[in-house]
Amino acid sequence: MHKEIKLTVSGTGFVGLITAGIFADRGFLTTALDTDENKIVTVNKGETFFFEPYLPELIKRVVLEKKTLIASTERIKSIKESDVTLICVGTPSKSDGSCNLSFIESAAEDIGKALAQKEGYHLVVAKSTIVPETTRTLIKTIIEKQSNKKAGVDFGLCMSPEFLREGQSVHDTIFPDKIVIGQFDEKSGEKLEAIFQHLYRVEDDDFSKTWGTIFGKKVSCPKILRRSIETAECIKYANNSFLATKISFINEFANICERVPGVDIKHVAEAIGFDFRISDKFLQAGTGFGGSCFPKDVNAMITFAKDHNYSPKLLESVMAVNIQQAKRMVQLTENAIGDLKGKQIAILGLSFKPETDDMRNAPSIKIIDELLSKGANVIAWDPKAIEKAKKESELSDKITYANTLGEIFDNTDACLLVTEWNQFKKLEPKDFKKMAKPVVIDGRRIYDYKKFREEGIICVGIGLGEIK
Ligand code: UGA
């Protein structure tokens, strides 16, 4: 069935390129669309343009060996020649926190223009994160206007949100916890469900063997939830907002625990995590959440709720706690070494989390800004994100970037662990003892502070109540 179904995926960001790659790996003939010629050229060489585990091998295989994926800027032609279009373009934040839907509008216009020239049924699936009612009021309206065709009659329409995590996006696409299908009508939902069932079918083929071996589990069809379009849109925001709430909750508690002698937030989180109603996931206190999703999506829901005459107090607090959490790192540093003016501060980790070079809304940016505003000099090292930090982030040339991890300890007054990369987890007290007066501020609580202290290192961390 899949050989006959041709897919176009609009947008080659995280969601788009990974989705296109996985469908192509299962044998679907897939075209990845983008307006950026450089990205298209890169993909067609079988290469990638952002760091993500397993993605380079995947793209190389589907482009050069299986030849099931091509990338193109010819959007209307490609859509016209396909059966299904997945909209995976970005929905960044506007300055007021609301969702910028301009890429969605352009993608819908392309689809509408293509459908105007196409005979036969076409299924349109919105995968981008879009505020409730966008699929119906914006995407459907534009496609119907441009094509002069009717949703539910001439073309199908679904909203199917994505729950993949950066850094684990290949795993999460092959082994999702659930698939949510928001359907405009029964036929659209059935068509999309059949595609997912085909993608996740249990079969002893190359796809299942390769990924089954890599991740140590069997490919199988996840729970598929068929709901209304608007429910699917809400599910995505509720999912991300709840996870962000868990993080702000544990960070708030970490700040409270710091005021109680002898309490460690890690022990508190561990214990409450045993309660199956809470679970131990996403209870890691730290420097706060970043990335291209949580801050953007929680802010979009706040703006959406207010626009609909509701004051979302909990979500506003989630954001407020998150903003102040980065500053907590700087307060801990000041407590440890006093006035920061003229001090050399080393930052371990720049990306918003490990296994990605993504700098969007990274806590490191807020921490560094605060350090600079207090007159500190900052040197930073990250295993993957230095280039992006220099070229694409607000940090740019405001700080010094170390060439090696070792360099970071020279003439440094305090080391701030901001992103918990594996390289940093392996550091021992002897590494930090290269500093004249070793001070470690552990923003992700990866170090054994008792051991570090026994070795003469001043080691403090988020959520550690000191015994006075
Ligand atoms: C998040 C969601 O986890 C995905 O399900 C969703 O699909 C995605 O957003 C999206 O909407 O596209 P992602 O932003 O890649 O994925 O990263 P997460 O692993 O969720 O981490 C987000 C932030 O929370 C990171 O800065 C991380 O360090 C922080 N975090 C996470 C904590 O501070 N504590 C935790 O316990 C967990």
CATH code: domain of residue 194:
3.40.50.720
Tokens 């998150």, residue located = 322
pLDDT in tens, 444-462: 999 999 999 999 999 999 9
The pLDDT value given to residue 468:
62
Q: Length of the chain, please?
A: 468
Beta bridge partners, 69, equal: 30
> Which residue lies with its CA nearest to atom 2 of ligand 1?
165
pTM of the model: 0.95
> Which atom of ligand 1 lies nearest, measured to the CA of 362?
26
The pLDDT value given to residue 96:
87
Q: Check whether residue 308 and residue 413 sit in a common domain.
A: yes
Q: Check whether residue 198 and residue 265 sit in a common domain.
A: no
Would you say residue 251 lies in a domain?
no
243 lines ligand 1 (CB under 6 A): yes
> Which atom of ligand 1 lies nearest, measured to the CA of 163?
7
Alpha-carbon distance of 190 to 226, in angstroms, equals: 9
In DSSP notation, 285-354 reads -SS---SSSHHHHHHHHHHHHHHTT---HHHHHHHHHHHHHHHHHHHHHHHHH---TT-EEEEE--SSST
If you measure from the C-alpha of residue 104 to the centroid of ligand 1, how many angstroms do you get, rounded to a whole number? Answer: 23
Alpha-carbon distance of 435 to 437, in angstroms, equals: 5
289 lines ligand 1 (CB under 6 A): yes
Q: Check whether residue 275 and residue 189 sit in a common domain.
A: no
Would you say residue 468 lies in a domain?
no
Q: Which of 167, 195, 221 finishes a domain?
A: 221
The pLDDT value given to residue 27:
95
Q: Check whether residue 419 and residue 297 sit in a common domain.
A: yes
Alpha-carbon distance of 83 to 4, in angstroms, equals: 9
Alpha-carbon distance of 99 to 93, in angstroms, equals: 5
Would you say residue 228 lies in a domain?
no
Active site residue 459: no
CA–CA distance from 420 to each of 90, 217, 227, 382, 426 (Å)? 27, 26, 38, 10, 10
Alpha-carbon distance of 466 to 322, in angstroms, equals: 23
> Among 18, 88, 164, which residue has the most ligand 1 atoms within 8 Å of its CB, making it the best to mutate?
164
CA–CA distance from 227 to each of 136, 189, 191, 410 (Å)? 14, 9, 14, 57
Q: Which of 195, 221, 247 finishes a domain?
A: 221
Would you say residue 238 lies in a domain?
no
> Which residue lies with its CA nearest to atom 20 of ligand 1?
165
If you measure from the C-alpha of residue 98 to the centroid of ligand 1, how many angstroms do you get, rounded to a whole number? Answer: 20
Average pLDDT of every residue of the chain: 96
If you measure from the C-alpha of residue 353 to the centroid of ligand 1, how many angstroms do you get, rounded to a whole number? Answer: 8
**Phi–psi pair at 74, nearest 5 degrees:** -80, 80
283 lines ligand 1 (CB under 6 A): yes
Tokens 């005459």, residue located = 309
110 within 8 A of 76, measured Cβ to Cβ: yes
If you measure from the C-alpha of residue 411 to the centroid of ligand 1, how many angstroms do you get, rounded to a whole number? Answer: 34
Would you say residue 182 lies in a domain?
yes
Per-residue b/e over 190-221, b at no fewer than 16 CB within 10 Å? ebbbebbebbbbeeeeebbebbbeeeeeebee
Work out the average pLDDT over 174-187: 98
The pLDDT value given to residue 202:
87
Flag whether pLDDT at 2 surpasses 80.
no
> Among 177, 236, 289, which residue has the most ligand 1 atoms within 8 Å of its CB, making it the best to mutate?
289
If you measure from the C-alpha of residue 402 to the centroid of ligand 1, how many angstroms do you get, rounded to a whole number? Answer: 27
In DSSP notation, 372-412 reads HHTT-EEEEE-SS-HHHHHHHSTTTTSSEE-SSTGGGGTT-
If you measure from the C-alpha of residue 59 to the centroid of ligand 1, how many angstroms do you get, rounded to a whole number? Answer: 24
Q: Check whether residue 332 and residue 436 sit in a common domain.
A: yes
Query: What dihedral angle (degrees, nearest 10) is formed by the CA atoms of 314, 315, 316, 319?
Result: 120
Q: Measured on CA atoms in the order 312, 317, 318, 320, is the torsion positive or negative?
A: positive
Share of the chain above pLDDT 70, in %: 99
Contacts of 184 (CB under 8 A, 6+ apart): 135, 136, 140, 151, 152, 156, 157, 158, 229
> Which residue lies with its CA nearest to atom 23 of ligand 1?
289
Q: Check whether residue 185 and residue 322 sit in a common domain.
A: no
> Which atom of ligand 1 lies nearest, measured to the CA of 291?
14
Work out the average pLDDT over 27-50: 96
Alpha-carbon distance of 179 to 235, in angstroms, equals: 11
282 lines ligand 1 (CB under 6 A): yes
Comparing C-alpha atoms, which of 320, 309, 304, 377 is closest to residue 347? 377
Comparing C-alpha atoms, which of 22, 23, 29, 21 is closest to residue 3? 29
Q: Which of 259-263, 379-383, 391-395 has the lowest mean pLDDT?
A: 391-395
284 lines ligand 1 (CB under 6 A): yes
Q: Check whether residue 211 and residue 272 sit in a common domain.
A: no
The one catalytic residue in 88, 257, 293, 459 is: 293
Q: Check whether residue 140 and residue 275 sit in a common domain.
A: no
Comparing C-alpha atoms, which of 431, 439, 444 is closest to residue 346? 439
Would you say residue 236 lies in a domain?
no
Work out the average pLDDT over 140-148: 98
Alpha-carbon distance of 201 to 222, in angstroms, equals: 10
> Which atom of ligand 1 lies nearest, measured to the CA of 164?
7
Beta bridge partners, 264, equal: 464
> Which residue lies with its CA nearest to atom 6 of ligand 1?
163
Domain of residue 424 covers 259-461
> Among 51, 99, 166, which residue has the most ligand 1 atoms within 8 Å of its CB, making it the best to mutate?
166
Q: Which of 197, 221, 245 finishes a domain?
A: 221
Would you say residue 376 lies in a domain?
yes
If you measure from the C-alpha of residue 243 to the centroid of ligand 1, how many angstroms do you get, rounded to a whole number? Answer: 8
Share of the chain above pLDDT 90, in %: 94
Q: Check whether residue 264 and residue 393 sit in a common domain.
A: yes
165 lines ligand 1 (CB under 6 A): yes
Flag whether pLDDT at 280 surpasses 80.
yes
> Among 55, 128, 160, 165, which residue has the most ligand 1 atoms within 8 Å of its CB, making it the best to mutate?
165
468 within 8 A of 262, measured Cβ to Cβ: no
pLDDT in tens, 297-330: 999 999 999 999 999 999 999 999 999 999 999 9
CA–CA distance from 454 to each of 300, 417, 430 (Å)? 47, 19, 12
Q: Per the structure, how many domains does the chain have?
A: 2
Q: Check whether residue 171 and residue 38 sit in a common domain.
A: yes
179 lines ligand 1 (CB under 6 A): no
Residue type at 231?
T
If you measure from the C-alpha of residue 289 to the centroid of ligand 1, how many angstroms do you get, rounded to a whole number? Answer: 7
122 within 8 A of 80, measured Cβ to Cβ: no
Would you say residue 466 lies in a domain?
no
Flag whether pLDDT at 1 surpasses 60.
no
